[in-house]
Every structure is written in structure tokens, then in C-alpha cells.
Amino acid sequence: MEAGLRRGLPLGRILLRPFFTRRRDVEHVKNLGYGDAGKRNLLDVYCHRSRPAGAPILIHLHGGFYSMGRKDSQALPLIYRLASQGWVCISANYRLRPAVRHPEHLIDCKRVIAWAREHAHEYGADPTTVFAAGSSAGGHMASIAGLTPNDPAFQPGFEDADTSVAAVIVLNGYLGQYFGQGPESSPLGHLRPDAPPYFVAHGDHDTVAPLDVVLPFVEGLRRTSRSPVVHAELPGAQHGFDLYHSVRFETLINGVEAFTAWVRTSRSGPPQGEDLHLGRRGDAG
């Protein structure tokens, strides 16, 4: 992990253009349909303009309390950096409350994974290497998706699709129950020994999704899973630290890069139960 964290930070971008995320070498393909729910079933693809073969896939799901939000709004510094390095990144809308409730959001997430395995090769991707990621509510969704691979209960009409993922990345995620719907609506309700590796990043000053809702999941998964569970605790960070370039988030992205490299090469990851403490208490971002 240390090698990834020593990567130089783009200080010019952080200081002068913190909200500018686009890169010239990244192609942004907008509004591709993956379901029949109109604009709520659209996704965007970000890929390197050279479209190198065999690229890993990152699927990101936005937050918004399951009742608002859209693709192309969160974690863009992460998405653009990975796409610039040859990844195929997918950012997807999904159906929202009150029109639907759990597990319909999760079913949309599974549909995105199935779409990626079927279509992402058109953009240079390796469909066998899929990482699921999400911010806030999207982290809740990605966490359950990683723990319910190929579960027909969450794949109506596409039961035979492979919805397993290589690993899960959670950014300021809410990891409790879905509006009091019961343990089965929480990632804690789906713990399993063969879970994929998890990278959970959270600010210790998060007042929207408090850390005490996250730690039981991290600790429970560590007790249950045979795979690495990395917890990156960000001192002083509030909710939404992934919205723009900052020293904290760019450093965290370095850690994500190191984590995904380990998953891709050895599937062993960092030592079981490793914690990361990034940034200095009081830093903005």
C-alpha cells in the first residue's frame, strides 16, 4: 500500500481547479441505456481515447439518500484518473424513491454489472474484471451487490447473468438498514466467507452517515470474510469528500489504485484487517 500512497499529487489541479475533472485523453460516452426505466436507467462510459485492450472495469453508483442524485456528479476525480490510465469506468443512474424501494435499486445495480459484462468490451474492457464502487447510498448498494453475486432474487429476468465482482470500493457509504426495512436490507445481513475484498473509506467527522454505522459492517465482514477488508479512516473528513480534487481525496485515490492493483495481480490484497489513516486532522476536503 505504501507504494501507491507515495505517488505525487496533482497540486496544480487541487489548488487552481479543484472542481475541474475532465481530461483530454478520456472519452466520455453519455446516456447509454441498460434498462427500461428511461433516464433512470442510463449510464455513462469513461475510457481512454486509445481504447487499450483488456482494461479493468469500475462501476460507480452515486449517492443522494436514494431519492436524488445523478450519474456524472460524484467521485469524478477517481473516475477520470482511472480512465486516463486505461480503465473503463461506468457511472450509472438508478431508480429512486419514492417510485421504488429496496431491492429495486439493487436490481438496477445488478443490471449495470450485467450490462458491463456484455458490452464494456466494445470500449476495450476485460469483462472478467469488474470492480463495484459507490458513494453514500451508492456505497450501500455496491456493498450488498458484492455480497449477493448471481442471487436470482435480485436478478429478475436476468437470472443467468454473472453479477459477481472482483472487489468493492465504498466512499462515505451508508452501511446500515434501508429506512428500517430489516437486516436483509443492510450489507450486514449478507455477510459471507467468500466475499470479495472490500475497501471502505469514511470520514471520522461524517454527520450524514456517521462512522458508527460503518464500523459494525467493517468489523463484521472482517470476522466473516476470508478476503482482505481495508478501512481507510479520514481524520477530519465530512460526508462528500469525493466531490472534488483535494489533497485528501487524491491521496485516497492513490490508495484505491494500490488496492485494485493487488486485487488484479494476486487477489490477496493487503494484510487482513489493515487500517489506513489518511490526511491530517483538520484538513479540508
Domains in the chain, start-ordered, CATH in brackets?
Answer: 2-277 (3.40.50.1820)
Strands 42-48 and 88-92: antiparallel
Which residue numbers are catalytic? 136, 206, 239
Nearest Cα residue to 134 out of 67, 196, 35, 202: 202
**pTM greater than 0.75:** yes
* Cα angle 148-151-153, degrees, rounded to a multiple of 5: 115
Amino acid at 250: E
Strands 125-135 and 198-203: unpaired
> Rg (Cα) of the chain, in Å, rounded?
17
Mapped onto helix, strand or coil, the DSSP state of residue 230 is strand
Quick check: 108 and 185 in contact, CB under 8 A? no
Tell me what pLDDT residue 24 has.
Answer: 84
Mean pLDDT by 10 residues, the chain (285 residues): 50 49 86 97 96 94 97 94 96 98 98 97 95 98 98 98 98 96 97 98 95 96 97 92 83 94 72 48 30
Tell me what pLDDT residue 232 has.
Answer: 94
Nearest Cα residue to 248 out of 197, 283, 272: 283
Tell me what pLDDT residue 212 has.
Answer: 94
Q: Alpha-carbon distance 56 to 157, whole Å?
A: 26
- The conformational region for residue 99 under phi > 0 = left, psi -120 to 50 = alpha, else beta, is alpha
Helix (H) and strand (E) counts in the chain: 7, 9
Strands 229-234 and 167-171: unpaired
